[in-house]
């Protein structure tokens, strides 16, 4: 006989893993594995084929040998919920529970493989340092991956104390808000405490991942949220604001106000991985304009009746924004084409068509000159 919903919810709330995000949904997903005598757990750290898993009985070290897949997208990562052996030496992770969300980037591999940075994340906190000039293109790239993951992005402008002029700070916030439609932008200073309480309230009771380049102040921000110096912090160079990787692994940490935080190493490269929808959400205003174009397949290049080009001409759409949109779309198309034969054929066909149009235009031009 099944328990009534209220009893089930109460059971999940009192579960030893509730502080790590365990809820009624995970309990339902785990039911068949509980029948096999396995224990539920959440991965808090992965290191060379081994992982630390927090279980109802405490944190255990487990081998991932039995869940090593051919698909690199299905490897165990920080934030995963798993089923582990109830005992034994060594302990093993037996299976992964289906992920709700996954933050994925492309690797530098020529085989075009994706790399999962964190799983089952509710908020993607993108740390952007105000110690150096804003790189809006990089923010858009992070946002595209965050939206594609299924998590809610949040841009945190760290080291806000380095911009003491309130007017200047408001201009920077406005610039980022224009770059990040539908995303909260929050200036924060771990040194003065500005904005930390607001950020804590936003991420309370959820799973958040902290992302950004080296020197963005992620470890300092993590310590501010945790209320203690858990993460090691190193100084950044004054000349470019960069620092060494303080965090070398992805660690899942419990927040004092409820919820958990996944801190990640600084990311040198953030390649897109099949993030077409994410790109569309980042550039929502361009996607909306495109719906008003005369031709449904308008490339926004020189076509008549192009609403995007019209907005560019009247100044309502910044040229930098359109160029960034085009760049990310091209990059994403290349990544997808590596694993999609039909798309590769379409791209080649498009190239041939454009080449033929170019040659025809050149011939016509030569004829007029003669």
pLDDT of amino acid 45: 94
The pLDDT value given to residue 187: 96
At 2 the pLDDT is 42
- The helix/strand/coil state of 183 is coil
Q: H or E segment at 173?
A: helix 166-179
Band of residue 346 on the pLDDT scale cut at 50, 70, 90: low
pLDDT tens string 275-288: 788 898 999 999 99
pLDDT at 299 over 90: no
Q: What is the pLDDT of residue 344?
A: 45
Residue 36 has pLDDT above 60, yes or no: yes
Judge whether 150 and 236 are in contact, CB under 8 Å: no
**According to the model, what pLDDT value does residue 3 have?**
44
Using DSSP's 3-state secondary structure scheme, residue 185 falls into: strand
Which residue bears the tokens 């990787």?
A: 245
> What's the mean per-residue pLDDT of the chain?
82
pLDDT at position 4: 46
pLDDT at 143 over 80: yes
What confidence tens digit (pLDDT) does each residue in 351-367 have? 455 455 555 655 665 56
Which value, to the nearest 10 degrees, does the dihedral of the CA atoms of residues 33, 38, 40, 46 take?
Answer: -110
| Mean pLDDT calculated for residue range 172-190 | 94
Average pLDDT of the segment spanning 324-342: 77
∠ CA 155-161-164, nearest 5°, is 110
Comparing CA positions, the residue from 147, 141, 80 lying closest to residue 106 is 141
At 260, the pLDDT band (50, 70, 90 cuts) reads very high
Contacts of residue 208, defined as CB under 8 A and 6 or more positions apart, other chains included, come to: 121, 122, 123, 124, 125, 154, 259, 260, 261, 262
Calpha distance 124→117 (Å, rounded): 11
Asked whether residue 335 carries a pLDDT value surpassing 60, the answer given is: yes
Q: Is residue 236 scored above 50 in pLDDT? A: no
pLDDT tens digits for range 73-101: 788 999 999 999 998 878 999 999 999 99
């Amino acid at each position: 006989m099944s328990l009534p919903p209220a009893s089930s919810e109460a059971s999940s709330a009192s579960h030893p893993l509730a502080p790590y995000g365990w809820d009624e949904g995970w309990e339902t997903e785990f039911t068949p594995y509980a029948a096999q005598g396995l224990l539920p757990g959440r991965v808090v750290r992965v290191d060379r084929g081994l992982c630390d898993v927090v279980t109802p009985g405490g944190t255990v070290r487990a081998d991932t040998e039995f869940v090593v897949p051919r698909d690199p997208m299905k490897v165990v990562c920080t934030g995963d919920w798993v089923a582990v052996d109830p005992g034994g030496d060594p302990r093993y992770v037996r299976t992964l529970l289906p992920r709700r969300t996954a933050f994925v980037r492309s690797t530098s591999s020529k085989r075009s493989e994706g790399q999962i940075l964190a799983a089952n994340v509710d908020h993607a906190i993108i740390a952007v340092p105000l110690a150096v000039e804003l790189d809006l293109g990089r923010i858009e790239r992070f946002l595209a991956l965050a939206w594609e993951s299924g998590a809610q992005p949040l841009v945190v402008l760290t080291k806000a104390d380095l911009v003491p002029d309130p007017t200047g700070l408001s201009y920077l916030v406005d610039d980022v808000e224009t770059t990040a439609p539908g995303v909260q932008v929050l200036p924060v200073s771990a040194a003065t405490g500005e904005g930390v309480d607001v950020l804590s309230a936003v991420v309370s009771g959820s799973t958040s991942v902290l992302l950004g380049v080296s020197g963005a102040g992620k470890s300092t921000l993590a310590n501010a949220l945790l209320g203690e110096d858990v993460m090691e912090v190193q100084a950044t160079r004054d000349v470019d604001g960069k620092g060494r990787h303080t965090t070398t692994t992805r660690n899942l940490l419990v927040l004092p106000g409820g919820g958990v935080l996944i801190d990640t190493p600084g990311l040198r490269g953030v390649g897109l991985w099949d993030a077409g929808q994410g790109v569309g959400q980042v550039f929502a205003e361009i996607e909306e304009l495109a719906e008003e174009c005369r031709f449904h397949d308008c490339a926004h290049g020189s076509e008549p009746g192009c609403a995007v080009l019209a907005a560019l001409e009247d100044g309502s759409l910044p040229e930098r924004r359109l160029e960034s949109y085009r760049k990310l779309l091209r990059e994403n198309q290349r990544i997808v084409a590596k694993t999609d034969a039909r798309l590769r054929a379409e791209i080649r066909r498009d190239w041939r068509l454009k080449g033929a149009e170019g040659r025809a235009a050149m011939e016509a031009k030569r004829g007029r000159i003669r």
